[in-house]
Amino acid sequence: MIQNHKIAFLGAGNMAEALVAGILQARLSEPDFVLATDISPTRLKVVKDRYQIQVGSHNLDAVLWADIIIICVKPQVINEVLSNIQTGLTDKHLLISIAAGVPIKGIQAQIGQTIPLVRAMPNTPAVIQEGVTALAGCSGLSLENLKVAQSIFESIGKVVVVDESLMDAVTGLSGSGPAYVYLVIEALIDGGVRVGLPRNVAHTLAVQTVLGAAKMVGETGEHPAVLKDRVTSPGGTTIAGLQQLEEGGLRATLIEAVEAATHRSSELGK
Ligand SMILES: NC(=O)c1ccc[n+]([C@@H]2O[C@H](COP(=O)([O-])OP(=O)(O)OC[C@H]3O[C@@H](n4cnc5c(N)ncnc54)[C@H](OP(=O)(O)O)[C@@H]3O)[C@@H](O)[C@H]2O)c1
């Protein structure tokens, strides 16, 4: 679907690189149709050497060349980049921004025109193509453009489409979520060490247990509580562990963590 569309990444950092790798590996595009800009010559050399894509240091030239523009700079510099490219943007472009916390109306105000625009919120496992991205389109966005954006982000994991008003909640769950799970994995490893396992063995057991459990929920489509009940035998080991987790308030704590991160995201967006 995006074959023969020229894609420009403005900002060639971690997220842009994840997307370039994903798009090329999924064969959604070819290196000649992908261009990245950056102010850092080092980053440009890295992405050129690794992916043989086009690189440049002029954002406006990239916009004039491209059909799809993906803004991958930090939120602090997005307004500067938008005002720099404003004269080259037309309603033939599809503009996608991954800048966290920057609303569609803020981007539209900065560019002073209404063009097809998608706001995306990926998360860091995108770098291994296991991310999840929430997409929100501007009002009037065509289904065709939404599908183009979906196919791009599906190359780095799963995609959900949400109303933009839910982006802070997305940030609180999947944006910050990898850190919560890292903490859980670290604690499981420490638990294993506490009961006598060598750390490397505990590491393998903990990582694969979290990965396997996530895949069980994702691939069987079963409610997590059903899967949990199935492995919890009367008077057994699992119910003893679960009781301890309930006493420690694990569930309430995770719910509150998502809520706190969502509030913080909304505060930062003001
Ligand atoms: N990482 C995440 O988990 C995540 C999740 C969701 C959304 N995001 C969003 O994704 C965006 C990129 O994040 P990232 O982690 O990839 O950041 P990053 O690695 O810092 O990449 C941004 C790149 O843009 C370059 N840059 C700065 N000013 C520029 C300009 N005027 N024109 C072109 N390039 C410029 C930066 O160069 P210098 O370093 O030299 O300034 C840097 O190489 C951010 O807006 C972030 O909010 C990230």
Q: What is the pLDDT of residue 146?
A: 97
**What's the pTM?**
0.95
Q: Which residue has the tokens 């090329």?
A: 24
Q: What is the pLDDT of residue 3?
A: 81
Q: What is the pLDDT of residue 133?
A: 98
Summarised one tens digit per residue, pLDDT across range 237-266 is 999 999 999 999 999 999 999 999 999 999
1 — pLDDT class (breaks 50, 70, 90): low
Q: What is the pLDDT of residue 219?
A: 96
Look at residues 163, 186, 209 and tell me which one is the last residue of a structural domain. Answer: 163
Q: What is the pLDDT of residue 173?
A: 98
CATH of the domain at 50: 3.40.50.720
Q: What is the pLDDT of residue 268?
A: 86
Query: Measured from the CB, is residue 176 less than 6 Å from ligand 1?
Result: no
Residue 142 and residue 116 in contact, taking contact as beta carbons nearer than 8 Å: yes
Give the whole-angstrom CA distance, residue 134 versus residue 260. 19
Query: Measured from the CB, is residue 23 less than 6 Å from ligand 1?
Result: no
In a domain, 65, yes or no: yes
Hey, how many other C-beta atoms are within 10 angstroms of the C-beta on 48?
A: 15
Determine the average pLDDT of the residues in 230-236: 97
**Residues 98 and 141 placed together within one structural domain of the fold:** yes
* 115 CA from centroid of ligand 1 (Å): 23
Query: Using CA atoms in the order 97, 98, 104, 106, what is the torsion angle rounded to 10 degrees?
Result: -90
Look at residues 163, 187, 221 and tell me which one is the last residue of a structural domain. Answer: 163
Summarised one tens digit per residue, pLDDT across range 19-60 is 999 999 999 999 999 999 999 999 999 999 999 999 999 999
CA of 18, closest atom in ligand 1: 16
* Residue 31: exposure state from Cβ atoms within 10 A (0-12, 13-18, ≥19): middle
Q: What is the pLDDT of residue 264?
A: 95
Query: Measured from the CB, is residue 99 less than 6 Å from ligand 1?
Result: yes
In a domain, 2, yes or no: no
- Greatest pairwise CA separation for the chain in angstroms: 70
Query: Measured from the CB, is residue 123 less than 6 Å from ligand 1?
Result: yes
Residue 121 and residue 178 in contact, taking contact as beta carbons nearer than 8 Å: no
User: Which of 184, 171, 141 minimizes the C-alpha distance to 268?
Assistant: 171
Give the whole-angstrom CA distance, residue 87 versus residue 234. 68
Give the whole-angstrom CA distance, residue 126 versus residue 160. 14
Total number of domains in the chain = 2
**Residues 151 and 198 placed together within one structural domain of the fold:** no
**Residues 146 and 110 placed together within one structural domain of the fold:** yes
In a domain, 102, yes or no: yes
Containing domain of residue 38, as a range?
Answer: 7-163
Strand partners, 55: 36
* Residue 218: exposure state from Cβ atoms within 10 A (0-12, 13-18, ≥19): exposed
Determine the average pLDDT of the residues in 90-112: 95
Residue 7 and residue 66 in contact, taking contact as beta carbons nearer than 8 Å: yes
18 — pLDDT class (breaks 50, 70, 90): very high
Q: What is the pLDDT of residue 269?
A: 78
**Residues 101 and 199 placed together within one structural domain of the fold:** no
Residue 222 carries which side chain, given as an amino acid letter? E
Q: What is the mean pLDDT of the chain?
A: 96
Hey, how many other C-beta atoms are within 10 angstroms of the C-beta on 190?
A: 12
**Residues 122 and 231 placed together within one structural domain of the fold:** no
* 127 CA from centroid of ligand 1 (Å): 14
Query: Measured from the CB, is residue 59 less than 6 Å from ligand 1?
Result: yes
Q: What is the pLDDT of residue 4?
A: 86
Express as a percent the part of the chain with pLDDT over 90.
96
Give the whole-angstrom CA distance, residue 2 versus residue 36. 17
* 126 CA from centroid of ligand 1 (Å): 14
Query: Using CA atoms in the order 190, 220, 22, 138, what is the torsion angle rounded to 10 degrees?
Result: -110
CATH of the domain at 230: 1.10.3730.10
3 state SS for 151-193: HHHHCCEEEEECCHHHHHHHHHHHHCHHHHHHHHHHHHHHHHH
